[in-house]
Amino acid sequence: MAMPLFRLQRTILFTLTSLLFVSAQSYAAQYGASIGNSVWQATPPSPLYCELTHPIPNMGMARFTHRSGEDLKFRLDPYGQPLQKGSAELMALPPNWKPGDAPVDLGKVNVGLGEEGVHIDSEQAHLMVEVLEQGLNPTFMQTPADKRYAPIRGHLSALGFKPAFAEYVQCRGNLLPVNFDQISRSAITFPGGGIDISTADKELLSLIMRYINADPSVKYVFLDGHSDSYGSRRDNRKLSKERTDTVLNYLIDLGLNEAMVTARYHGERYPIVPNNTKANRAKNRRVTIRLEREGIALGDPVVPSDAQVQYDNGSADTAN
């Protein structure tokens, strides 16, 4: 029996609609490593930096980075501009062979222009790691406002993630608690008239030495000794030298190469706060420690980086 005309028209319309939907999906911009080329690589163990990388073909290099003294972060270094500047959805999707698993919404991310790529903070980065361990694929999704352009999808593949992540975890366990930015400017403070280093400051000096030993780019150590303004300038200069020598000798005992050191002492010349209260004078009794990497100008001025203008003595009590 011949099909009625109206039913034939409906069947044709449904078929065309389905084909258009499949066509739209097939023409969506899809980025992601296939089963045969999903590669994860961890950097060798280091006390300063750990990284886990995963190339996304034609899209960019995915990087989980962990710097000493900081938390886990993620960034996508793009090849060109696969994602448009603005925002994108971040979803954890099941692989094709596990279609029954529910997707997980990981929030939105900002997409920069060109080399800016995608930078993700520690909270979302940890979520990405969690879903990768579960076998889900963190996926960046964009639907351009201009409907002439296809939707964009780019995913990190969970294939091969776990072995490389185990290496990353081993690296993470060896990280120092500080990085160069956090440890390169330090200060040891002293009691009035004293040159003894406190227990807490001895721990700080030990940490500084751990960092110097771990970072071969540190080539210079500058020590600058200071006093408060109580007493004569001559006595204060002498006391600041004794404090500098105390710190220097302690670092040498910990293994510091003396050839790296420039030691200076300034007396009361460079207070960081006015010497007008007991608390302020305690801040001025200090030896600053500055680490510098290779390539700095060796003609640094004698004035220490934390120095301020000279202040009047203000009220006085027994100090130095």
Angle at 180 between CA 179 and CA 183, to 5 degrees: 85
- In a domain, residue 319? The reply is no
Number of Cβ within 10 Å of residue 225's Cβ equals 28
- In a domain, residue 19? The reply is no
Query: Mean pLDDT over all residues of the chain?
Result: 87
Q: Which residue has the tokens 């361990």?
A: 133
Adjacent-strand bridge partners of 137: 93
**Residue finishing a domain among 172, 194, 225:** 172
Q: Among 102-106, 117-121, 302-306, where is mean pLDDT lowest?
A: 302-306
pLDDT number for residue 305? 57
Considering the domain architecture, whether residues 158 and 214 belong to the same structural domain is answered as no
- In a domain, residue 299? The reply is no
Considering the domain architecture, whether residues 49 and 165 belong to the same structural domain is answered as yes
Rounded distance, CA 74 to CA 121, Å? 7
Nearest to 81 by CA among 60, 63, 64, 62: 60
pLDDT in tens, 143-177: 887 777 789 999 999 999 999 999 999 999 999 99
- In a domain, residue 302? The reply is no
pLDDT in tens, 282-315: 999 999 999 999 865 444 444 455 654 343 333 3
Backbone angles phi, psi at 131, to 5 degrees: -70, -30
The reported pTM is 0.80
Considering the domain architecture, whether residues 158 and 46 belong to the same structural domain is answered as yes
The total domain count for the chain is 2
Q: Calculate the CA dihedral of residues 201, 202, 208, 210 and round it to 10 degrees.
A: -150
Considering the domain architecture, whether residues 164 and 205 belong to the same structural domain is answered as no
Considering the domain architecture, whether residues 38 and 134 belong to the same structural domain is answered as yes
Q: Calculate the CA dihedral of residues 198, 203, 205, 209 and round it to 10 degrees.
A: 160
**Token pair of 118 as six digits:** 């995608």
Cβ contact 31:153 at 8 Å:
yes
Write the CATH number for 152: 2.60.40.2540
Nearest to 270 by CA among 259, 283, 261, 260: 283
Q: Give residue 211's Cα distance to chain centre.
A: 16
Nearest to 266 by CA among 249, 296, 242, 283: 242
Adjacent-strand bridge partners of 120: 74
pLDDT number for residue 315? 36
Mean pLDDT of 27-55: 93
Tell me which range, 91-100, 124-133, 136-145, is most confidently predicted by mean pLDDT: 124-133
- In a domain, residue 300? The reply is no
Helix orientation angle between 161-172 and 122-133, rounded to the nearest 10 degrees: 130
**Residue finishing a domain among 172, 198, 229:** 172
Q: Does the structure show a pLDDT above 90 at 107?
A: yes
Considering the domain architecture, whether residues 268 and 184 belong to the same structural domain is answered as yes
- In a domain, residue 14? The reply is no
Q: Does the structure show a pLDDT above 90 at 100?
A: no
pLDDT in tens, 235-275: 999 999 999 999 999 999 999 999 999 999 999 999 999 99
**Residue finishing a domain among 142, 172, 202:** 172
pLDDT number for residue 97? 82
pLDDT in tens, 200-234: 999 999 999 999 999 999 999 999 999 999 989 99
Strand locations in 255-317 (E): 261-265, 286-293
Considering the domain architecture, whether residues 156 and 192 belong to the same structural domain is answered as no
Write the CATH number for 251: 3.30.1330.60
Number of Cβ within 10 Å of residue 46's Cβ equals 15
pLDDT number for residue 20? 39
Considering the domain architecture, whether residues 203 and 117 belong to the same structural domain is answered as no
- In a domain, residue 35? The reply is yes
- In a domain, residue 132? The reply is yes
Considering the domain architecture, whether residues 127 and 224 belong to the same structural domain is answered as no
Buried b / exposed e over 265-287, threshold 16 CB at 10 Å, is: bbbbbbbbebbeeeebbbbbbbb
Per the structure, the complete domain to which residue 97 belongs is given by 30-172
Considering the domain architecture, whether residues 149 and 46 belong to the same structural domain is answered as yes
Q: Give residue 156's Cα distance to chain centre.
A: 21
Q: Does the structure show a pLDDT above 90 at 191?
A: yes
pLDDT number for residue 147? 78
pLDDT number for residue 6? 46
Cβ contact 76:118 at 8 Å:
yes
pLDDT in tens, 75-87: 999 999 899 999 9
Q: What is the DSSP string of 178-232?
A: --HHHHSEEEEE--TT--PPPHHHHHHHHHHHHHHHH-TTEEEEEEEE---SSS-
Considering the domain architecture, whether residues 201 and 150 belong to the same structural domain is answered as no
Angle at 136 between CA 132 and CA 139, to 5 degrees: 95
Rounded distance, CA 38 to CA 32, Å? 8
Considering the domain architecture, whether residues 51 and 116 belong to the same structural domain is answered as yes
pLDDT number for residue 118? 97
3-class DSSP assignment, residue 248: helix
Higher pLDDT, 52 or 314: 52
